[in-house]
Amino acid sequence: MDLYRVKEAILHFCLPSLCFCCSNDLPFGYKGPLCPHCLRELFYIRSPYCKRCGVYLKNGGEVCHTCRNKKYNFDFSRSVFMYNDEISSVISAYKYKKMDWLSDWFSIEMVKKFKDYTEFTGYDSLIYIPISARKIRKRGFNQTYLIAKKLSAMLGIELIESAVIKKKDARNQVGLDAHERAFNIKDSFELVDHSRINGRNIIIIDDVATTMSTIDEMAGILKSGGAKKVSAYTIARE
DSSP labels for 7-60? HHHHHHHHS--B-TTT-PBPPTT--SSS-HHHHHH-EE--SSB-TTT--B-TT-
| pLDDT tens-digit series, residues 34-52 | 999 999 999 999 999 999 9
Upper half-sphere CA count for residue 188 (Cβ side, 13 Å) = 23
Query: Contact 51/68 with Cβ under 8 angstroms?
Result: no
Query: Cα angle vertex 188, ends 183, 192, to 5°?
Result: 150
Q: Is the pLDDT of residue 15 over 80?
A: no
pLDDT of residue 16: 52
Nearest alpha-carbon partner for 164 in 183, 194, 190, 186: 190
Upper half-sphere CA count for residue 145 (Cβ side, 13 Å) = 14
pLDDT of residue 148: 99
14-23, 99-108, 142-151, 216-225: least confidently modelled range? 14-23
Other beta carbons less than 10 A from residue 179's beta carbon:
10
pLDDT of residue 81: 99
Tell me the average pLDDT across 219-224.
98
C-alpha span between 175 and 188 (Å, rounded): 19
**Whole-angstrom Cα Rg for the chain:** 19
Full set of structural domains in the chain with CATH? 18-237 (3.40.50.2020)
Burial (CB count <10 Å: 0-12, 13-18, 19+), residue 4:
exposed
What single-letter amino acid sits at 156? G
